[in-house]
Amino acid sequence: MNVKLFLTAEAIILPAALLLAVLRSLPGPVFFPLRALAVIYADLFRGIPTILVIFMLGFGMPGLGVSWIPQSQFFWAVVALVLVYSAYVSEVYRAGIESVHPSQEAAARSLGLSRGQTLQFVVLPQAVRRVIPPLLNDFIGLQKDTALVGALGVVEAFRQTQIDQAATFNGTYYLVAATLFVAITIPLARFTDWLVARDRRRQQAGRLA
Nearest to 85 by CA among 13, 177, 181: 13
For another protein, the binding residue among 27, 67, 103, 209 (CB under 8 A) is: 103
Question: One-letter amino acid identity for 177?
Answer: A
Q: From the CB of residue 20, how many other CB atoms can be counted at a distance below 10 Å?
A: 23
Q: Does 129 bind another protein (CB under 8 A)?
A: yes
Q: Which of 127, 148 has the CB closer to another protein? A: 127
Give the distance from CA 143 to its chain's centroid.
10
Inter-axis angle of helices 132-145 and 73-99, to 10 degrees?
A: 160
Q: Does 179 bind another protein (CB under 8 A)?
A: no
Q: From the CB of residue 137, how many other CB atoms can be counted at a distance below 10 Å?
A: 16
Q: CB under 8 A: which stretch of 16-24, 54-62, 115-123, 141-149 binds another protein?
A: 115-123
- Find the length of the chain: 209
For another protein, the binding residue among 37, 52, 107, 175 (CB under 8 A) is: 107
Q: CB under 8 A: which stretch of 6-14, 50-58, 124-132, 155-163 binds another protein?
A: 124-132
For another protein, the binding residue among 8, 126, 165, 192 (CB under 8 A) is: 126
The DSSP letter of residue 209 is -
Residues 190-209 that bind another protein (CB under 8 A): 202-205
Residues binding another protein (CB under 8 A) = 103-104, 106-114, 117, 121-122, 125-126, 129, 202-205
